[in-house]
Amino acid sequence: MKKEKSSNVIIKAVSKPFKGEAGKTGDWRSQTPVIDQEKCSQKESCLLCWMYCPDGVISREFPLEIDLEFCKGCGICAQECPRKAITMIDGREAPVE
């Protein structure tokens, strides 16, 4: 049997990028952010919520959308919005309109 050259033997223990590596982290939430689109400036000149969300789950396009499958409910976006357009409501679900 031909001996394989050691340089050809590559052991691959490489992780691949994956959304939800820790599962659906939205399940961690006890409060849920709700955006009032009328109050939001809808202006690119703001985007503070987008910038400060550690998990990067707020869209950058207006009207803004929050990915509630993964939002951990920290409340930073609501705290930092200069127009008070985001409110944290109790529970894991956003109210149905």
Q: Can you list the alpha helix ranges (DSSP code H) found in 40-89?
A: 48-52, 76-80
Judged by CB under 6 A, does residue 55 bind ligand SF4? yes
Considering only residues 48 to 87 of the shown chain, the ones binding other proteins according to CB under 8 A are 48, 50-52, 54-57, 60, 67, 69-70, 72-76, 78-80
Q: Which residues of 21-41 are buried (b: 16+ CB within 10 A; e: fewer)?
A: eeeebbeebebbbebeeeebe
Contact positions toward other proteins, by CB under 8 A?
13-25, 28, 44-48, 50-52, 54-57, 60, 67, 69-70, 72-76, 78-80, 88
